[in-house]
Chain A
Amino acid sequence: MQATRSIRLPRKLSVCRLIHNHHILRSSDPAGRTTSFGFRTVPEESKESLVKGVFDSVASKYDLMNDASSLGVHRLWKDSFVDTLKPGRKGPLRCIDVAGGTGDIALRILDHARENYADRETTVDIVDINAQMLKEGFMRFKKTMYHNTPQVSFHEANAQELTASQFKNDSYDLYTIAFGIRNCTSIPAVLSEAYRVLKPGATFACLEFSKVNNPLLSTLYDQYSFTVIPLLGTILAGDRNSYQYLVESIRKFPSQPDFAQMIRDAGFSTGGDFDGGAWTELWGGIASIHTGVKI
């Protein structure tokens, strides 16, 4: 019995832009607001719990899967990210690392400040919506010198609605979010919360997967993402669906200029709309660092 073959779709780039525009139109539809969950369209209210399910499931093997699926390159990206920000250069900072559950960025920030500037007063508040991921981060920090010091603290909170009493206006010098913003239901809400808690003159920095514009690299990257990564998820973590969601959610994320515009819409001031301005591409656009300053 032959399974029906699906119609071959036009090449990835145009299809993805179509979906992206469709998504923007959809989310402004008042009756039954929907958003994307990977390539599926789901009601807005359910995205949060679906994402929670994904991260509850991947938390214990998160670091292993990151290393396996990026062949260790994610470490280089995160090192680049923190080196660009140079925390501690102008004195101790109050940082907030959102969606930073397992603590990769927070640890790098504290180490950078300590090693380069002998700074032991910089603090990082790690915020994540998922308790399992925070638990993994807490355990990782227990193995470091920052455990039980005021330099690191863990908070379970929603990036779109940081409790005003706990996360006061104009209180942070640096807001980082690495590989987390594409999982949020409403990116503008996250950006406006970021704007609220940052002090004037402070920096917003986001490391996220982005659009690869080089067609050859893009083809190879797609093949790798949709073939190897779900298989790695099946073999290493016993969970194909979560990794299928993760690679699909990368495709649904806005392109670099669109995201830079969203950052500006939240009130930040960014560089120009080119690589090196509002964003810096890493590895041909597989990941990008977007920065903005609150004026």
Chain B
Amino acid sequence: MSVICTSFPPIIRVGAHSLMKPMYSSYRRIHGWNSVINTSQARSFVALAASPRSSSHATNRNSRSVHTNARLQPAYPGHIPLTPFETGVLAVGSALMSLIDTRRADMVAACGETTAGPTLVKLRDTMLESPEGRRILKEMPRINSQTLDWEKLRSLSENTFGRAYVRWLDACKVTPDSREPVHYIDDPELAYVMQRYRETHDLYHALFGFKVSALPELALKAFEFTNLGFPMTALSLGASIRLKSPQRARLWGEFIPWAARCGSHARCLLTVYWEERWGQDLDEMKKEFGVWDPPAGLTIPRASRIDFP
């Protein structure tokens, strides 16, 4: 079974479940529950679930919610257990909705989760096979504006990965906080793997310097498909029908071949413990992972290697 389970005694695991009643029917958005989750410093889903804080938002602990259908209990905060039929409906619906309204990041996330299937198990096992990946699964680090040390990142020298990440965030005007939490994965450890993928997606942007508009996002999704294997990343290439034809031609002619070669050649990027590598030189990092720069045109300008006084 998973590494995490064995590190918790059974009593806490059972207690954690009883503390987590009825998560998905409570109004976390109204009570700002999601902000509680994001501020945790490197805490695992299971640890959060076991903490007394997880029941503090229930307005009346003495009454249990009664549902007309007996569903599986939520396994972690934010978990919404779905039956197979519902998962199918959501997979199709979220895929269509992401195509119709490409700005619906929550639908892209839902599509990824409902279509993941055995991919997450395979990725978790790949992580377990590498020492760095094992450390990630044990410590379950999170990436959001609370866990990042902004001063330290900005003070790093110019060609380091950490500095490149902050430069990319500034150039594209995004924050690491905009990621939808995982809802539809039943196993907490696999849910963490999914959450890690979502949070490190921005780091892949920074690694290559990809901007955040449609074409670079699709190029990056193609890379993720060959590197990680999520079906949703392949499905998202279907959104290329919404691009104009010259852009579509560029995507399929230049960037997808790059992504296919680069992604399959590189090591699985989910096994990278990015938080230990902020100070690593960017070019050396790319050589270590086995990736190379994409064709020009979709990336933010590289920083000058000359440090002006």
Cross-interface CB contact of B186 among A3, A19, A54, A245, cutoff 8 Å: A3
Sorted nearest first, the 8 A-B pairs with minimum C-beta distance are: A235-B93, A41-B63, A3-B75, A53-B30, A39-B65, A12-B68, A8-B70, A4-B17
Q: Is the CB of B73 within 8 A of A238?
A: no
Cross-interface CB contact of B72 among A5, A223, A245, cutoff 8 Å: A5
Q: Is the CB of B104 within 8 A of A238?
A: yes
Distance from B102 Cβ to chain A, minimum over Cβ atoms (Å):
14
A48 within 8 A of B: no
**Given known contacts A1-B1, A9-B66, A240-B24, A42 and B59 CB-to-CB distance under 8 angstroms:** yes
Q: Report how far A9 CA is from B26 CA in the complex, Å.
A: 20
A184 within 8 A of B: no
Q: Is the CB of B67 within 8 A of A226?
A: yes
Q: Is the CB of B89 within 8 A of A228?
A: yes
Distance from A220 Cβ to chain B, minimum over Cβ atoms (Å):
12
Q: Report how far A171 CA is from B137 CA in the complex, Å.
A: 68
What's the dominant secondary structure at chain B's contact region? loop
A90 within 8 A of B: no
Q: Is the CB of B59 within 8 A of A248?
A: no
B25 within 8 A of A: yes
Q: Is the CB of B59 within 8 A of A222?
A: no
When distances are taken between beta carbons in the complex, the residues of chain A under 8 Å from B30 are: 50, 53, 241
Indicate with 1 or 0, residue by residue over B75-119, a CB within 8 angstroms of chain A CB atoms: 100001101011001100110010000001011001000000000
For the complex, count residues of B whose C-beta is within 8 A of A: 48
Could you show 16 A-B contacts with beta carbons less than 8 Å apart? A1-B188, A3-B74, A3-B75, A3-B81, A6-B67, A8-B70, A9-B67, A16-B68, A40-B63, A223-B69, A227-B86, A227-B89, A234-B94, A238-B104, A238-B106, A241-B26
**Given known contacts A3-B74, A43-B59, A231 and B90 CB-to-CB distance under 8 angstroms:** yes
B14 within 8 A of A: yes
In the complex formed, the residue of A with least CB distance to B187 is: A1
**Given known contacts A42-B60, A241-B29, A1 and B75 CB-to-CB distance under 8 angstroms:** yes
Q: Is the CB of B73 within 8 A of A5?
A: yes
Q: Is the CB of B90 within 8 A of A235?
A: yes
Q: Is the CB of A236 within 8 A of B97?
A: yes
Indicate with 1 or 0, residue by residue over A265-282, a CB within 8 angstroms of chain B CB atoms: 000000000000000000
Most buried by B among A40, A43, A251: A40
A88 within 8 A of B: no
B13 within 8 A of A: yes
Q: Is the CB of B13 within 8 A of A1?
A: yes
Indicate with 1 or 0, residue by residue over A5-19, a CB within 8 angstroms of chain B CB atoms: 111110010011001
**Given known contacts A3-B73, A238-B106, A15 and B97 CB-to-CB distance under 8 angstroms:** no
Q: Report how far A42 CA is from B63 CA in the complex, Å.
A: 9
Q: Is the CB of A251 within 8 A of B68?
A: yes
Q: Report how far A9 CA is from B73 CA in the complex, Å.
A: 14
B2 within 8 A of A: yes
A38 within 8 A of B: yes
Distance from B49 Cβ to chain A, minimum over Cβ atoms (Å):
11
When distances are taken between beta carbons in the complex, the residues of chain B under 8 Å from A240 are: 24, 80
B28 within 8 A of A: yes
**Given known contacts A226-B67, A238-B104, A38 and B72 CB-to-CB distance under 8 angstroms:** no
B224 within 8 A of A: no
B303 within 8 A of A: no
Q: Is the CB of A235 within 8 A of B60?
A: no
In the complex formed, the residue of B with least CB distance to A43 is: B59
B287 within 8 A of A: no
B285 within 8 A of A: no
Cross-interface CB contact of A38 among B25, B28, B110, cutoff 8 Å: B25
Q: Report how far A106 CA is from B186 CA in the complex, Å.
A: 46
**Given known contacts A50-B30, A231-B93, A234-B110, A4 and B59 CB-to-CB distance under 8 angstroms:** no
A288 within 8 A of B: no
Known: A227-B85, A241-B29. 16 other contacts (CB 8 A): A1-B75, A3-B72, A3-B73, A5-B72, A6-B67, A6-B70, A40-B60, A43-B59, A53-B30, A231-B89, A235-B94, A235-B97, A235-B107, A238-B106, A239-B29, A240-B80
Distance from B110 Cβ to chain A, minimum over Cβ atoms (Å):
7
Q: Is the CB of B89 within 8 A of A244?
A: no
Q: Report how far A1 CA is from B29 CA in the complex, Å.
A: 27
Distance from B79 Cβ to chain A, minimum over Cβ atoms (Å):
8
In the complex formed, the residue of B with least CB distance to A16 is: B68
In the complex formed, the residue of A with least CB distance to B4 is: A1
In the complex formed, the residue of B with least CB distance to A245 is: B27
Distance from A13 Cβ to chain B, minimum over Cβ atoms (Å):
10
When distances are taken between beta carbons in the complex, the residues of chain B under 8 Å from A223 are: 69
B189 within 8 A of A: yes
Distance from B2 Cβ to chain A, minimum over Cβ atoms (Å):
6
When distances are taken between beta carbons in the complex, the residues of chain A under 8 Å from B1 are: 1
B173 within 8 A of A: no
Distance from B167 Cβ to chain A, minimum over Cβ atoms (Å):
31
